[in-house]
Structure 1
Amino acid sequence: MTNWRAVIVGFLVATVLGLFGLALPGVGQLAAGLVGGFVAGYMAGGGLGRGFWHGLLAGALGGIVGGLLIAVVVGLTGWTLGPVGGLVSGAAGLGILAVALFVSFVMALESAIAGAVGGVLNPDPDRAGRGGRGGRDAY
């Protein structure tokens, strides 16, 4: 079963670090995806496969949101430039869509690998705040 809390937290970590990572283009976003995927995998715990899955979801979510933001900006820019701008914007949008899909794939893959490492390092998901026996209720 998917731990959506782990996926959302991993996505938020990757997003925040990605904003700070703009100071180092490329490297900053790569590191943000790795850390976000690791966090998602570690929180989900349960081993290699479970960590991989949660890291993959966190990275894919980040790529989809990033692609949608780029599409909105290009669409609004074309809309403000009138019919010719709309035509140019539409043509550019197809290229941007292809780039956004590629970036989403890369972000999801790197996050999945980091998530697998996180999942291996936390074989007991109850200790990562998922509920159950961990925390105050263990006594």
Structure 2
Amino acid sequence: MTNWYAVAVGFVVMTVVGVVGLAVPGVGQLAAGLVGGFVAGYMAAGGAGRGAWHGLLAGSLGGVLVALIFGVAVSALGAVGLGPLGPVLSGGVFLVGVVIALAMGLESALAGAVGAWIAEA
């Protein structure tokens, strides 16, 4: 059974670390996914598979949030005619959002498995 409290805490940790990590582009977001997934997996415990599942859920929620923000930003740019992102990505925003959610979910799942493994040790 899914421990939604662990998923929520992992998501919140991921969001906070991600906001702080904006100072270091790229590395900050990677660290956010890893730390949030680790926390979710550690809190869920119960083996590497269970930790990976909880990390995946926390990371995917974070990825969906980032994808939504990205979609709104691209739509706003396209609506006001600023920047090249609006017309270029208007048809591919959904695809980019799916890739973001998948990437954040996979790295968080890996970290969640490690977190659960450490919790069991």
| TM-score, length basis structure 2 | 0.87
Higher deviation after alignment, 17-26 or 38-47? 17-26
| TM-score between the two structures when normalised by the length of structure 1 | 0.77
Counterpart of 1:109 (choices 93, 106, 111) is: 106
Gaps of 5+ in 1: 125-139
Give the residue type in structure 1 aligned to 2:5: R
SS in 2 for 1:94: coil
Percent identity at matched positions? 56
| Count of aligned pairs | 119
Q: Superposition pairs for residues 1-139 of structure 1, below 5 Å?
A: 1-81=1-81, 89=86, 92-123=89-120
Runs of 5+ consecutive residues of structure 2 not aligned to the other structure:
none
Matched AA of 1:94: G
Shift of 1:89: 3.6
In 1, the alpha carbon distance for the partners of 2:66 and 2:47 equals: 29
* 8 A contact 2:66–2:100 mirrored in 1: no
| Cα RMSD for the two superposed structures | 2.0
* Cα deviation, residue 17, structure 1: 0.5
How far apart are the structure 2 equivalents of 1:40 and 1:93? 34
Q: Deviations over 1:70-89 (max 9, x none)?
A: 112222333345xxx8xx84
The worse-fitting range, judged by mean Cα deviation, of 108-117 and 89-98 is 89-98
CA contact (8 A) 2:51 2:115 kept: yes
Tell me the CA shift for residue 67 of structure 1: 0.4
Measured in 2, the distance between the counterparts of 1:112 and 1:47 equals 13
